[in-house]
Amino acid sequence: MKKSILITIFSIFTIFFGCTNGSEKSLKVDIDENGYAILTDQEIEEIVKRSYQYVAMYNVNNKFALAEKGMSTGGYNAGLRNTQLLDHTVKAIARPNNDVLYQMAMLDLRKDAAVFTFPAFESKYVSLMATGYDHYVNIPLSTTNGDFKKPITVLFYTRRTENYQGEPIEGVNKIFEMTGDFISLVLRVMPHANEPDRFNRIVGQINNIKGISLNEFQGKAKLAEDSIDFPKYGETDADIFENNLLEVMQFVFNHTTFDRSNELDQAILDTYKPLGIEPGKVYDPATALKIEGKRFREVSLRIKNEELAKMNNPELGKTILPNLFQTKDKMSLEPMLLQSVVGPIGLPMKEAMYPPVVSSDGNPLNALNDYVISMTEEELPPANGFWSLTLYDTENGFFIPNDYKKYSVGENSGMKLNIDGGIKIYVSEVKPDGVPLENWLPINRKDQGIDIILRVYAPDLEKMKTWKAPLAEKMK
């Protein structure tokens, strides 16, 4: 009797997926005799695409907060002060950078608001990014807006925060409402590592960052935190798609603020309602609908590869890259999917642009070959802040291990311009004779796909309209 009731309930649900071409199609979800949702490949693909932003950010944020080793704060309402540049041992996030010192705080805003005081920074580029499981990127503070010239205090909360409802607080300069209860704060500080005295002063400024609860800020005792059990995060996004997608999405729904007037928000709610996932519900594995995890995994991996391939298509990149890492009101599905696959929690175009460097012959870059990237002075990236070029493996988006711990070329990590003001950057197994160490990126000679990504911080947006990224030429 119980199974037949469930079949009737799920049979009458109908949802509408908002397609990228503006059309709509309905999906009727039935379940089979074993309790599994009956879904076509096309329907699974749409669910995966709609879910990717949440799966990717659930993995990233919870790795930052809960991982027992690596780049982790060791819990929520905790921070990680970092005064050394990242290296190839970092596996918490795809395509990290070697340009800035990441300062992180993982916040649980359910009980109380969090208050952070930031000092002035003697750095060419600093930005603060705040992101929940929904992957809408907010930049509350940045040098591009004239921030960090003097100390500033910022408060973060969510509409579910028990101890705070958005009222002004004495001593707080800026109040910022987040869409998620569990969020990451990431402060990027360009440390000017090639200027030792300036680097040391900036490290001192980093050590003066303070973060406490609102109650503590007001001279009261810290409120006791509510315990919570997090669904297991995955080693990869595909792990969640296969093993516990519905459980994770129910958790996300219960700790995220959705705006039903927003197309992406409404679409994800409509997508999961027929699957029994709605805000405010409790996930019960004994009664929950089942999905075929292996099919979801296979589709997620295919979509991942398709999105990664777009990074090697300069023409396609021109239409998508300018729309990455935006606030909720400016995001659509296509750039959201790309940013969630390629490298979560990046910066919006005003703060940074990420043009890929592709091969001159149109073939994927591979560590079986050596490459040279040449730019004249006029061809250098038009950055009002600074620029860098970073090397990764294609499959995971990690730095390529090497004894020199050399992963990028740029003002912070080191570079040497030639006498004419241009530069030649070599990606090779062995450093060519006469090439400065600063301009060399080591690879390991094996059949391995590699990616080269430029970062242009505080880009000159007008010049970027006509500027073209350099190509990597295969060396003979």
Per-residue pLDDT of 439-452, as tens digits, reads 999 999 999 999 99
Q: What is the mean pLDDT of residues 340-346?
A: 86
Q: What is the mean pLDDT of residues 120-127?
A: 96
Residue for token pair 């079986």 = 368
Give SS3 for 84: coil
- Which pLDDT does position 473 carry in this prediction? 98
Does residue 112 sit in the same domain as residue 161? yes
CATH number of the domain that residue 421 is part of = 2.60.120.600
Tell me the percentage of the chain whose pLDDT exceeds 70: 93
Range of the domain at 156: 68-217
> d(Cα 121, Cα 454) in Å, to the nearest integer?
24
Asked, for residue 109, whether it belongs to a domain, the answer is yes
Cα dihedral across residues 288, 293, 299, 300: positive or negative:
positive
Does residue 211 sit in the same domain as residue 236? no
Of 30-34, 44-48, 113-117, 182-186, the poorest mean pLDDT is in 30-34
Asked, for residue 94, whether it belongs to a domain, the answer is yes
Tell me the percentage of the chain whose pLDDT exceeds 90: 78
Q: 97: pLDDT confidence band, cut at 50, 70 and 90?
A: confident
Q: Which residue has the higher pLDDT, 18 or 436?
A: 436
Does residue 362 sit in the same domain as residue 457? yes
Q: What is the mean pLDDT of residues 400-428?
A: 94
Does residue 359 sit in the same domain as residue 462? yes
Does residue 137 sit in the same domain as residue 260? no
Does residue 249 sit in the same domain as residue 386? no
Asked, for residue 44, whether it belongs to a domain, the answer is yes
Per-residue pLDDT of 247-270, as tens digits, reads 999 999 999 999 999 999 999 999
| Integer angstrom CA distances of residue 371 from 48, 444, 455, 476 | 36, 13, 19, 9
The residue from 184, 217, 250 where one domain ends is 217
Does residue 108 sit in the same domain as residue 182? yes
- Which pLDDT does position 314 carry in this prediction? 65
pTM of the predicted model as reported, rounded to 2 decimal places: 0.82
- Which pLDDT does position 28 carry in this prediction? 62
Does residue 52 sit in the same domain as residue 72? no
Q: Which residue has the higher pLDDT, 137 or 5?
A: 137
The residue from 183, 217, 251 where one domain ends is 217
Per-residue pLDDT of 367-379, as tens digits, reads 999 999 999 999 9
Q: Which residue has the higher pLDDT, 317 or 24?
A: 317
Cβ-contact 43, 51 below 8 angstroms: no
Cβ-contact 439, 422 below 8 angstroms: no
> d(Cα 60, Cα 124) in Å, to the nearest integer?
27
Does residue 372 sit in the same domain as residue 389? yes
CATH number of the domain that residue 164 is part of = 2.60.40.1610
Q: What is the mean pLDDT of residues 31-43?
A: 92
Largest CA distance in the chain: 82
| Mean pLDDT, rounded, of the chain | 90
Asked, for residue 370, whether it belongs to a domain, the answer is yes
Does residue 189 sit in the same domain as residue 283? no
Is it the case that residue 240 has pLDDT exceeding 70? yes
- Which pLDDT does position 42 carry in this prediction? 95
Of 85-89, 250-254, 291-295, 406-410, the poorest mean pLDDT is in 85-89
Radius of gyration of the chain (CA): 23
- Which pLDDT does position 217 carry in this prediction? 98
Asked, for residue 344, whether it belongs to a domain, the answer is no
- Which pLDDT does position 20 carry in this prediction? 39
The residue from 281, 301, 321 where one domain ends is 301
**Looking at the 3D structure of the chain, how many domains does it have?**
3
| Integer angstrom CA distances of residue 120 from 144, 205, 208 | 14, 7, 10
Helix H, strand E, coil C: the string for 277-297 is CCCCCCCCCCCCCECCHHHHH
Is it the case that residue 5 has pLDDT exceeding 50? no
Tokens encoding 323: 């729309």
> d(Cα 422, Cα 101) in Å, to the nearest integer?
27
Write phi, then psi, for 359 (nearest 5 degrees).
Answer: -75, 150
Q: Output the CA angle 101-442-366, nearest 5 degrees.
A: 110
Per-residue pLDDT of 206-238, as tens digits, reads 999 999 999 999 999 999 999 999 999 999 999
Q: Which residue has the higher pLDDT, 18 or 405?
A: 405
Does residue 462 sit in the same domain as residue 400? yes
Does residue 256 sit in the same domain as residue 381? no
- Which pLDDT does position 318 carry in this prediction? 66
- Which pLDDT does position 222 carry in this prediction? 96
Asked, for residue 343, whether it belongs to a domain, the answer is no
Asked, for residue 348, whether it belongs to a domain, the answer is no
Asked, for residue 255, whether it belongs to a domain, the answer is yes
Per-residue pLDDT of 169-188, as tens digits, reads 999 999 999 999 999 999 99
Q: 317: pLDDT confidence band, cut at 50, 70 and 90?
A: low
